[in-house]
């Protein structure tokens, strides 16, 4: 199931999947309309004759003009999309490209123009004229005219959408919304309803007589782990599997990605079976990697604070969105690294994420780049104070206090105006 979900997410993130589906649909629709035209006996006084009353030559000219216009607009749309991707990559970061590629409207627009072009070609090929008879697909030509009118309206919608989509606040908001939805999938349990089993004796498990190391077969980012397959394998073979990496980590070929322990004999071929549960790719994806979207927003903030751009307002917008995300994470139950089967036997010890790691990913880089920018540092402290109001776990409060102390130390070394420093101290004392 994990692999199928991964494939589906990759298809959705591709720029060709939706246009291909629309293209296939246009081919089927053209064949269906032309077949319907063959079945209908058009009379000069009939209602359908008023849909299109032109001759064979006029039908050909109309379809030729529509086909040429659609393929021309498709080229224009593709060029605009490339320009937007270039701007997004240079101003917001290369990791933002996935978000623009995932945009449904961009895919739909490109697919509509290309499919209209193909539709017109297929209808055009069906028009025939002999000495004694001729055939003009009236319904098919009328549909082509409707598609051309819809294409004009769609171009206006596309230009508006593409101009709004590169706005920094819109990008940040979309990433934040996507991350909040992903949090509900990755951490479905609310705080207090998660795994309450006692911590097992890991040292005793590692003293088991048989041990096997699982080496990675290729280098890349660990994108997904098929935990269901690992659980079934460990139960069937009576194993305890240690996972040394979590999704988002970079593994090198022949690096130990997992360890297997068992009281009995470990069968040959277990390494290949376990490796099939790991999906490794060239880039990070948000499918099981909660830090990915957080780092996307942090990257936007860091780029905004770079000397070449110097845009603290965009950085503050990123901090505000990250604050909402971290407040939401205070109420979720982070998955336990100890996974048990239905018989309540320990089977997998995973490398699970923690709240402290999420905080580090959200604020460390921004704080470093914000040195010398009192507005951003003060907003960062405001965020920590806000998050602290939602925290009910002592360990999380300690992590927040560490970030507050580091932020305070950074300000004391870089702030030149004592009023800014006093404003920050007031917030810090409120937190403590």
Residue 413, helix vs strand vs coil: helix
Residue 193 has pLDDT above 50, yes or no: no
Match 């336990």 to its residue by tokens: 336
173's tokens:
């908001």
What pLDDT is attached to residue 44? 54
What pLDDT is attached to residue 50? 57
Residue 52 has pLDDT above 50, yes or no: yes
pLDDT band at 131 (very low <50, low <70, confident <90, very high): low
Q: What is the mean pLDDT of residues 401-429?
A: 90
Q: Which residues contact 266 (CB under 8 A, 6 or more apart)?
A: 210, 211, 212, 237, 239, 260
Residue 27, helix vs strand vs coil: helix
Name the CA dihedral angle for 193, 357, 298, 5, rounded to a multiple of 10 degrees: -60
Report the range of poorest mean pLDDT among 189-193, 297-301, 428-432: 189-193
pLDDT band at 191 (very low <50, low <70, confident <90, very high): very low
Q: Which residues contact 172 (CB under 8 A, 6 or more apart)?
A: 297, 300, 314, 317, 318, 321
Q: What is the mean pLDDT of residues 113-117?
A: 95
pLDDT digits (tens, 9 = 90+) for 412-421: 888 888 888 8
pTM beyond cutoff 0.85: no
What pLDDT is attached to residue 404? 93
391 or 52, which is more confident? 391
pLDDT band at 195 (very low <50, low <70, confident <90, very high): low
Q: Cα–Cα distance between 287 and 179 in angstroms, integer? A: 10
Q: What is the mean pLDDT of residues 211-227?
A: 90
pLDDT band at 111 (very low <50, low <70, confident <90, very high): very high
Q: What is the mean pLDDT of residues 137-166?
A: 89
Q: Is residue 320 within 8 Å of 382, Cβ to Cβ?
A: no
Q: Which residues contact 145 (CB under 8 A, 6 or more apart)?
A: 52, 62, 66
Q: Which residues contact 236 (CB under 8 A, 6 or more apart)?
A: none
Q: What is the mean pLDDT of residues 256-265?
A: 88
To the nearest 10 degrees (0 to 180), the angle between helices 168-186 and 312-329 is 10
- CB-count burial class (<10 Å; 0-12, 13-18, 19+) for 308: exposed
Residue 147 has pLDDT above 90, yes or no: yes
Residue 86 has pLDDT above 60, yes or no: yes
Residue 299 has pLDDT above 50, yes or no: yes
What pLDDT is attached to residue 12? 72
Sheet strands side by side (includes 240-243): 210-215, 256-262, 240-243, 346-349, 338-340
What pLDDT is attached to residue 192? 44
Residue 305 has pLDDT above 60, yes or no: yes
Report the range of poorest mean pLDDT among 76-80, 178-182, 312-316, 396-400: 178-182
Report the range of poorest mean pLDDT among 99-103, 225-229, 248-252, 321-325: 99-103
What pLDDT is attached to residue 286? 82
Q: Cα–Cα distance between 233 and 224 in angstroms, integer? A: 17
Average pLDDT over the chain, rounded to an integer: 85
102's tokens:
């995932």
Q: Which range scores top for mean pLDDT: 188-197, 330-339, 353-362?
A: 353-362
**Can you give the C-alpha Rg of the chain in angstroms?**
29
Residue 259 has pLDDT above 70, yes or no: yes
């Amino acid at each position: 199931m994990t692999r199928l979900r991964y494939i589906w997410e990759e298809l959705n993130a591709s720029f060709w999947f939706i246009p291909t589906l629309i293209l296939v649909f246009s081919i089927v629709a053209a064949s269906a309309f032309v077949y319907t035209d063959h079945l209908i006996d058009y009379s000069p006084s009939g209602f359908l004759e008023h849909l299109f009353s032109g001759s064979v030559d006029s039908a050909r000219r109309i379809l030729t003009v529509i086909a040429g216009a659609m393929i021309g607009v498709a080229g224009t749309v593709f060029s605009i999309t490339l320009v937007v991707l270039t701007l997004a990559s240079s101003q917001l970061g290369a990791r933002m490209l996935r978000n623009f590629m995932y945009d449904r409207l961009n895919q739909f627009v490109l697919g509509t123009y290309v499919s209209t072009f193909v539709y017109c070609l297929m209808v055009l090929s069906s028009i025939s004229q002999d000495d004694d008879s001729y055939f003009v697909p009236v319904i098919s030509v009328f549909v082509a005219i409707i598609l051309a009118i819809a294409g004009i309206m769609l171009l206006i919608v596309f230009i508006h959408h593409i101009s709004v989509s590169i706005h920094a606040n819109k990008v940040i908001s979309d990433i934040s919304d996507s991350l909040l939805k992903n949090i509900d999938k990755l951490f479905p349990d609310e705080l207090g309803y998660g795994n309450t089993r006692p911590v097992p004796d890991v040292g005793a498990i590692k003293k088991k007589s048989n041990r096997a190391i699982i080496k990675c077969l290729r280098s890349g980012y660990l994108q997904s782990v098929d935990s269901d397959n690992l659980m079934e394998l460990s139960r069937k073979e009576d194993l305890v599997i240690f996972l040394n990496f979590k999704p988002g980590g970079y593994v090198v070929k022949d690096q130990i990605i997992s360890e297997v322990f068992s009281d009995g004999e470990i069968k040959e071929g277990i390494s290949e079976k376990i490796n099939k549960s790991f999906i490794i790719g060239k880039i990070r994806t948000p499918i099981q990697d909660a830090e990915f979207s957080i780092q996307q927003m942090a990257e936007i903030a860091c780029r905004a604070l770079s000397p070449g751009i110097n845009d603290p307002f965009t950085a503050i917008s990123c901090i505000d969105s990250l604050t909402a995300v971290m407040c939401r994470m205070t109420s979720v139950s982070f998955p336990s690294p100890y996974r048990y089967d239905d018989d309540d036997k320990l089977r997998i010890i995973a490398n699970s994420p923690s709240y402290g790691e999420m905080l580090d990913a959200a604020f460390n880089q921004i704080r470093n780049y914000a040195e010398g920018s009192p507005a951003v540092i003060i907003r960062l402290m405001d965020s920590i104070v806000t998050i602290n109001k939602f925290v009910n776990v002592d360990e999380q409060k300690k992590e927040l206090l560490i970030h507050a102390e580091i932020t305070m130390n950074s300000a004391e070394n870089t702030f030149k105006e004592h009023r800014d420093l006093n404003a920050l101290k007031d917030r810090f004392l409120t937190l403590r």
